Structure formats: structure tokens, C-alpha cells
Structure 1
């Protein structure tokens, strides 16, 4: 099955990971890292600086795609579009 995320197409058979996450500053220079949305909601309240939200697609170990947004609402809208594509098939 082929899904489209923004303008990119992915064969679901090749996707090894597909997940949403928050992007936060690590505190070291301009370095950022991904954290789970659950951790952000429960554990991180006021403890980290969120710089964005994203949907991350891994095709094996080598090929990774990131779709980054300024707000969680924008990310959620894309996640809904992906879910709708998956439900159709």
C-alpha cells in the first residue's frame, strides 16, 4: 500500500517506524532531540523548551524522513490525513 505524506509517497511495506513526537531543546547549544508526546504531557510540564512537533518516518535504519511543524495542531492534522489513508485500505 502506498501512502502520501505531504508530497512524498511511501510504501507501507518499507516503513519500519512511523510516529509523532515533540522536538525539544537539549540545553546544549542549539541541539534538539525528539521526545514522546506522552512524556511531554505527563513528565515534562514546564521543564523543557518545545521547538516543534513532527511526524517521523523510518525506512529501515538508513533512510529517515521528518515532517516538522510549529504547532501540535498542525502535526495532528497531518496524522489524521495519514490515518485516513491507512483506514481506506
Structure 2
């Protein structure tokens, strides 16, 4: 099955990981890291600087694609579009 994310097509047979995450500053220069949305909601309230949200796709071990969003609502809308494609 082929799914499309922001005009980029992926064969679901090749996807080894597909997940949403928050992106926060680590506190070291301009470095950022991914954190789970659950951790962001429960543990991080007011403790970290969120710089965005992303949908991350891994194709095997070497190929990775990142789709970044300014707000969680924008990311959630894209996740809804992905889910609709997977349910079709």
C-alpha cells in the first residue's frame, strides 16, 4: 500500500517505523531531540522548550524522513490524513 505524506509517497512495506514526537531543545547550543508526546504531556509541562512537532518515518536502518510542524494541531491533522489512508 502506498501512503502520501505532504506530497511524498511511501510504500508501507518499506516503513520500519512511523511515529509522531515532540521536538525540544536539549539545552546545549541549538541542539534538539525528539520526545514522546506522552512524556511531553505528562512530565515536561513547563520544564522544556518545545520547538515543534514532527512525524518521523524510517525506511530500514539508513533512510529517515522528517515532517516538521509548528503546532501540535497541524501535526495531528496530518496524522489524521495518514490514518485515513491506512484505513482505506
- Same-fold call, TM cutoff 0.5: yes
- Matched positions, count: 88
- Unpaired segments ≥5 residues, structure 2: none
The answer for the alignment partner of 1:36 in structure 2 is 36
For 1:24-63, list aligned pairs within 5 A: 24-63=24-63
Alignment RMSD (CA, Å) = 0.4
The answer for the alignment partner of 2:85 in structure 1 is 85
- Unpaired segments ≥5 residues, structure 1: none
How far apart, CA to CA, are the structure 2 residues paired with 1:4 and 1:27?
34
- Is the partner of 1:44 in helix, strand or coil? coil
Runs of 4+ in 1 over 2 A off after TM superposition: none
Residue 15, structure 1, aligned to residue 21, structure 2: no
The answer for the alignment partner of 1:70 in structure 2 is 70
C-alpha displacement at 1:7, in angstroms?
Answer: 1.0
How far apart, CA to CA, are the structure 2 residues paired with 1:38 and 1:15?
23
- Is the partner of 1:30 in helix, strand or coil? coil
Write the deviation string for residues 32-81 of structure 1: whole angstroms up to 9, x where unpaired. 00000000000111110000001000001100000000000000000000
